[in-house]
Structure 1
Amino acid sequence: MNSLLTALITKRIVATVSALLVVAIGCAAGIWQLGRAETKIALAANLQARQQMPILNANQGPWTLEEAGERRMIARGQYIPEAAVWLDNRPRPVPPVGSASAQSGFYLMMPLRLEGKDEVLWVNRGWAPRNNENRETLPLVQTPNKLVSIEGIAFAHPGKVYELGSNKLSAYEGKPRIEQNFDLTAEGKLHGWSQAPFILRELELGIEDGLVRDWAPLTNGVDRHYAYAFQWFALAFAGFLFWLLSGLRQFRRQGFSNGYRGDQE
């Protein structure tokens, strides 16, 4: 058996090296995907633990990002709708049952002026569908013109999408803005106000305002990483199997057995 294996390797150097590359790449990619899944699970566990901590009150701050990040928080204040930012190219967090693909839309970022404080808290109020015929036709959303109490989870940012070039903010003109990404620091400089160093992703509390707040689970995507890992490991195994079977066929057809017998004599 050792002589047979040696013959398969030494007489097929190019095929052996190619097979080794396929196996190495497949195994490395599969292990990387498993690592991504484990990282997401660990992050989700950490987020879940932080969200079980006592609820913070934004009006009793100031809070740092380290103190408030990934924790539940309540806030009371009044929205500033004229300063809203619509983040484009955001898929619906959880697609409807039976939907083949995620619907594209907006995240509505709106500043909330905190009651009793000279500070603004940016709120991700939720998701709304985009008008496919006219991108600049914004969804109809109801915004209370009074003090409101909301609850959400604090994050460093609302998530980012790929963007060509730099996102340079223009002078504030008091009209609806459609942006690809949200820069909290740049928004503070643009408006010249004091603001919290985090955003609040509002939770669904039965508020009917035209926005969807059915956020994706914390472990969203883990199953996909496991599926990718299986595919990569399957590719590695297929590469090895192809190398082995093709070598055995070549061994029989081209008389590798002569070299094998010679080794046995």
Structure 2
Amino acid sequence: MLGGFRRPPWWAILLTAAAAVLFVRLGFWQLHRAAFKDELLRRYAAAAVAAPRDFAAVATQPPPDAYPRVQVQGRYLADRVYLLDNPRHDDRGGVEVYVPLRVAGGDRLLLADLGFLPGNGTDQTPQLPALPDGEQSLHGLYVPPPGHGFEMGGDALARQARWPKKTIYLDIGQVAADLGAKLYPRVLSLDADPASIYVRVHTLDFGDMPPARHRAYAFQWFSFAIAVVVILLVLNRKRGSRQPRPTDFR
């Protein structure tokens, strides 16, 4: 090779090229995921200010990767409250409150996300305000239920005899079994209300993998691709011949 480098073995060139191509492809995949999630965030933000649609049009078959803002009429099952105990809103603790809604003219229950109820820094469940009686007209985003990771401990709802029931993850199937009724596949995330005690912030929760994390991983993979090429060059750099010293001839 020119410029002070010797030709490396063919297998070293092949392995280096394969590793570099793999790392570059992984980097571009991470950038693709970041762009995809950025687009979801844009759609979510646009939906939050869109005119509400009729719920019946999207109830059982919501559009994939879209979050329609809907209008729903129904009655709360006020004695069947579920508390999600792992939302990431603040360091004072608190719970996300979900209540089944009997939709007018519907054959299923709709789980309504009332919002986050802040705690007071203790392990005690915050005091829940009373729910309104009678038929309600509600507006909000029709969104997938919150994601969850490994379900440690199994179904916590089945082990509780009284409401409100508390859980560290929300599984639509488990809630449906607990209620003994069919549920719609998504939840209604209610619009913000200045008069409400609940904190309602329309945002997508990507857990530990927001778009910025994907871009950081992309940079990491691209760095690995450069590193393997540099390592190959360093290992095959020609070393200058050693000049004899006078003492070598003694």
Q: Given the superposition, is the C-alpha separation of residues 207 and 29 from structure 1 closer, same or farther in structure 2, using an over 3 Å criterion?
A: farther
Deviation of 1:78 after TM superposition, in Å, equals 3.6
State the distance in 2 between where 1:21 and 1:164 align: 39
Aligned to 1:215: 202
Partner deviation per Cα, 1:114-158 (whole Å, 9 max, x = no partner)? 457675321112223466653xx2123323333443311112323
CA distance in 2, matches of 1:17, 1:129: 57
Q: Does the CA-based 8 Å contact 1:172-1:191 persist in structure 2? A: no
The amino acid across from 2:115 in the alignment is: G
Aligned-partner SS, 2:117: strand
Q: Name the aligned partner's letter for residue 235 of structure 1.
A: F
Q: Are 1:31 and 2:31 an aligned pair?
A: no
Aligned residues: 238
Partner of 1:170: 158
Change (3 A) 1:84 1:161: farther
Letter of the aligned partner of 1:27 in structure 2? V
TM value normalised by structure 1? 0.69
Aligned residue number for residue 72 of structure 2 = 75
The aligned counterpart of 1:65 is 61
Are the structure 2 counterparts of residues 51 and 144 from structure 1 closer, same or farther at C-alpha, using a change threshold of 3 Å? closer
Matched residues, percent identical?
23
What residue ranges of structure 1 are gaps of 5+ in the alignment?
96-101, 256-265
SS of the residue 1:66 aligns to: coil
Tell me how far 1:234 sits from its aligned partner: 1.9
Which one is further off, 213-222 or 239-248? 213-222
Cα 1:44–1:208 change in 2 (3 A) is closer
Q: In 2, are the aligned partners of 1:65 and 1:198 still within 8 Å (CA)?
A: no
Q: Which runs of 5+ in 2 are unaligned?
A: 243-250
Which of 204, 213, 233 pairs up with 1:224?
Answer: 213
Moved more, 48-57 or 219-228: 48-57
More helix as a share of residues? 1
Contact 2:69 2:142 (C-alpha < 8 Å) held by counterparts: yes
Q: 4+ runs of 1 displaced by more than 6 Å?
A: 48-53
8 Å Cα contact 2:143-2:189 kept in structure 1:
yes
Equivalent positions of 1:3-152 (< 5 A) are 7-10=6-9, 19-20=16-17, 23-44=20-41, 55-58=52-55, 63-66=59-62, 70-92=67-89, 105-114=94-103, 119-129=108-118, 133-134=122-123, 137-147=124-134, 148-152=136-140
State the alpha-carbon separation in 1 of the partners of residues 67 and 166 from structure 2.
26
Report the RMSD for the aligned CA atoms in angstroms: 3.8
Paired AA for residue 29 in structure 1? L
Give the structure-2-normalised TM-score: 0.72
